[in-house]
Chains A and B, each alone.
Chain A
Amino acid sequence: MQRMMRGRGVAASWYGIARTATIDRAGAWAELDDGGTAKIVTGVTEIGEGILTLLSQVAAEELGIKPEEVTIGDNDTARSPEAAHAGATRQTYMIGNSVALACRDARSRLDKELASHWDVDQDSIHAFDGEIWSEGSNLKMTMEEAVDVCKKRGVVPVGSGSFTAHGTGLDPVDGSGSPWQAYVFGCQVAEVAVDTVTGEVQVLGIWASHDVGRAINPRGVEGQIEGGVVQGLGQALMEDYQLEKGHTKTHGFAKYILPTSLDIPQINTTIVEDPDPKSPLGAKGIGEPALVPTAPAIMNAIYDAVGVRITSLPATPEKVLAALAAKAKSASGTMQAAE
């Protein structure tokens, strides 16, 4: 056997969006503000996934302004509507859709006043990137002017939105039920090099394809996938919280080993869009599902490379080398038996 052996493996996955086996809900408020800017108020803030940018994009699209003109007031149980938790791959789906609904509500107030002002059909009014116009006419103004018109008519263009995801509980006996209204699917291929001298596994490539419903910010989706892959890689190969009679043996990052820049495969992402029919945006989510297939894809690739099946995570160098030794032993045993 050569020292460095390469192999590839694949794993598929599926995941449910938003809270499990229950009704999930979230609310948001919106206001088209002076200067053609906007305020959006929600009950959560950024945990790194890019939700604030995403919500600004959704609000910008729905209101017809620019994302940087959106101010998100967030994160305060005493000042903002209920958004519930930042988890369960629910931010884009739950908060994103509630912001979309709130913005539509605010826009309809504005559009109604503008339709009356211009004396056109409300449905003819469209807005994008700071401008608002009536389709099929030369009536057009900036959003700043439109807000001013609306307010001079005595109306503040505010709106609210509440979005519901209808999951149902599971039957306590047979588990039947409809836990989520939206599902996503994924698949990852891993390519590894296994060092047969040290047992070290290097993951050199990942091809990740994930259905996200609709990618609001494709680069952000890639970022979530890349982060998920590397967390999956960490669990697959090195991370291990160890206890001895309830006492940890891995107190800090010198003992609890995390992936660094030298452990990162080239990650090739393909975004698949199968829009959700049950929500205004059509987007589903990607935060959690991204890491589900990574570890089994790597284990399958190790098997492809050197023929050892690691069923106990993580596949440390020591474990891989021991498995290789056991395989060699059993192969030589088989050969002897054949003689």
Chain B
Amino acid sequence: MLTCDKYHMPTSIPEALAIWQDAAEGSRLVAGATDILPWAREGRAGDVNLPAMIDLSRVAELQGYKVANGRVHLGANVVYQDFLTDETLRQHLPCMPFCSIWFADDQIRAQATLVGNLVNASPAADGTPPMLALNAELEIVRLDGKALKRRTIALSDFVKGPGKTDLQPDEIVTAVICDSLPGYGGSFQKVGQRRSLVISSACAVACIKMAEDDETVEDIRLALGGVGPVPVRLDDIEMLLRGKRITADLITQASAMPAGRVASRTRQEYRRTVVKGFIEAAILDALIECGVPLPNAAEVENAHV
């Protein structure tokens, strides 16, 4: 059971930072709060009393998103459901609807924020692999005297390990900024013990842009989650495929590459086998979204499961 002595709902960044700076040790920032309440239960943290909870969900500056200069600036309060319902986000972040539909359920998606998912740094976080694939950076702010001091850090540097990030004690993440990829086909693969509301055993994301010939890979982004302490970007496979004419053989070659990345302490053999199939499926699904013919018509059957 989670109890707290004080519950703050600041409405501005300076107010939030001031409260956060003064908050007693052990206080927590929350946004959607969908993770912290289940955490403070038997079998996880047990009964927890927090000196204060600082709820950022009404901080005006953290709301909404902007698209500019090839990047999408997602305020920290953007929730998962937005990636399903917002036409602009769907267009600019083509892999995110697929990721979101696998994330929890409609009700939790209405509350849970992408930034909260990133900051929790779970190895199985669904949101991290797509954001890695989209070259995401986090925008972080703290108080320096009375002035706001901002910094940005690449997501790949931010996530240090399970539950570990580069976030410093008095800092707040205000946004995640990632590539805008209109015209790309996106896809997301995930397996758990069932289909709805389940933790990933493994997941994979792909975003592909095809050249005008519909056969050459102009750009490709791939990342894996759930396979080690932190999600990983698959730069080597991207390198292999970028600029190449896509063929069934090439995809097979690419699929054989990531097994070595599996570094989970448990269920390693399973995850190795799965990710091999996932890369192939992620690429094929993304190609379908690009609207190009698949290298081998028979493989249509393989996609979208």
Q: For the complex formed, measure the closest distance between the CB of B48 and the CB atoms of chain A, giving whole angstroms.
A: 15
A257 to B274 CA separation, bound complex (whole angstroms): 20
Chain A minimum-CB-distance residue to B277: A197
Q: Does B273 contact A (CB under 8 A)?
A: yes
Task: With CB as the reference atom, state the residue of chain A lying closest to B44.
Answer: A251
B66 at the A interface (CB under 8 A): no
Residues of B within 8 A of A251 (CB): 41-44
Are B199 and A325 in contact (CB-based, < 8 A)? no
Could you mark each residue 44-76 of chain B with 1 if its beta carbon is under 8 Å from any beta carbon of chain A, else 0?
100000000000000000000000000000000
- The answer to the question of B5 belonging to the interface, with a C-beta cut-off of 8 Å to chain A, is no
Partner of B43, one of A4, A248, A259, A325: A248
9-residue interface stretch from B161-169, B188-196, B213-221, B241-249: B188-196
Partner-contacting stretch, out of A77-85, A133-141, A265-273, A316-324: A316-324
* Contact pick for B273, options A4, A260, A321, CB 8 Å: A321
- CB <8 Å contact, B42 and A254: no
The answer to the question of B297 belonging to the interface, with a C-beta cut-off of 8 Å to chain A, is no
In the complex, the answer to whether B199 meets A322 with C-beta atoms within 8 Å is no
- Whole-angstrom distance between the Cβ of A67 and the nearest chain B Cβ: 36
How far, in Å, is B138 (CB) from chain A's closest CB? 26
Contact flags A219-256 to B (C-beta < 8 A → 1, else 0) = 00000000000000000001000000000100110110
| Residue A2 CB within 8 A of the other chain | yes
Classify the secondary structure of A's interface with B. loop
Of residues 92 through 133 on chain A, the ones whose CB sits less than 8 Å from some CB of chain B are: none
Across the interface, do A262 and B305 meet the contact criterion of CB distance under 8 Å? no
Q: Which residue of A lies closest to B274 (CB)?
A: A198
Contact of A252 with B273 in the complex, beta carbons under 8 Å: no
| B277 and A3 contacting across the interface, CB-CB below 8 Å | yes
- Whether B199 lies near A254 (C-beta < 8 A) is yes
Q: Is the CB–CB distance between A198 and B194 below 8 Å?
A: no
| Structural contact, A238 and B270, CB atoms closer than 8 A | no
Interchain CB contact under 8 A, A317 and B302: no
The 0/1 profile, CB within 8 Å of B marked 1, for residues 173-186 of chain A is 00000000000000
A193 smallest CB distance to B (angstroms): 8
Q: Which residues of B contact A262 (CB under 8 A)?
A: 194-196
Of the residues A2, A3, A318, contact of B270 by C-beta under 8 Å: A318
**B301: CB under 8 A from chain A?**
yes
Do B281 and A197 touch across chains, with their CB atoms under 8 A apart?
yes
| A residues in contact with B195, CB < 8 Å | 260, 262-263
Q: Which residues of chain B are near A248, meaning CB under 8 Å?
A: 43
Q: Which B residues are CB-close (under 8 A) to A318?
A: 201, 267, 270
Kindly list chain A residues whose C-beta atoms are within 8 Å of the C-beta of B157: none
A17 vs B193: C-alpha distance when bound (angstroms) = 35
The answer, yes or no, to whether A69 is at the interface (CB within 8 Å) is: no
Do the beta carbons of B194 and A238 come within 8 Å of each other? yes
Mark interface residues in B258-294 (1 if CB within 8 Å of A CB, else 0). Answer: 0000000001011001101110110000000000000
Distance of A296 Cα from B305 Cα, bound (Å): 25
Q: How far is the CB of A202 from chain B (nearest CB, A)?
A: 8
A195 to B202, CA, bound (A): 15
Judging by beta carbons under 8 Å apart, are B270 and A257 in contact? no
B196 touching A261, Cβ below 8 Å: yes
**In the complex, what residue of chain A is closest to B193 when comparing beta carbons?**
A257
Whether, in the assembled complex, A200 has its beta carbon less than 8 Å from a beta carbon of chain B, the answer is yes
Q: Do B274 and A197 touch (CB < 8 A)?
A: yes
User: B110 contacts the other chain (Cβ, under 8 Å)?
Assistant: no
Contacts of A321 in B (CB 8 A): 270, 273-274
Q: Is the CB of A2 within 8 A of B301?
A: yes
B196 touches A260 (CB 8 A): yes
Closest to A257 in B: B193
Is B1 located at the chain interface by the 8 A CB criterion? no
With A263-B194, A321-B273, A321-B274 as known contacts, state yes or no: A3 contacts B301, CB within 8 Å: yes
Residues of chain A lying within 8 A (CB to CB) of residue B274: 197-199, 321
Q: In chain A, residues 168-215, which have Cβ atoms closer than 8 Å to a Cβ of chain B?
A: 195-200
Q: Could you tell me which B residues sit within 8 Å of A by CB distance? A: 38, 41-44, 191, 193-199, 201, 267, 269-270, 273-274, 276-278, 280-281, 301-302, 305
Can you spell out 13 A-B residue pairs with CB atoms less than 8 angstroms apart? A2-B301, A195-B305, A196-B277, A197-B274, A198-B274, A238-B194, A252-B41, A257-B198, A260-B195, A260-B196, A261-B196, A262-B195, A318-B201
Given contacts A316-B193, A317-B191, 11 further A-B contacts (CB under 8 A): A2-B301, A3-B305, A196-B277, A197-B305, A238-B193, A251-B43, A254-B38, A260-B195, A262-B194, A263-B194, A322-B270
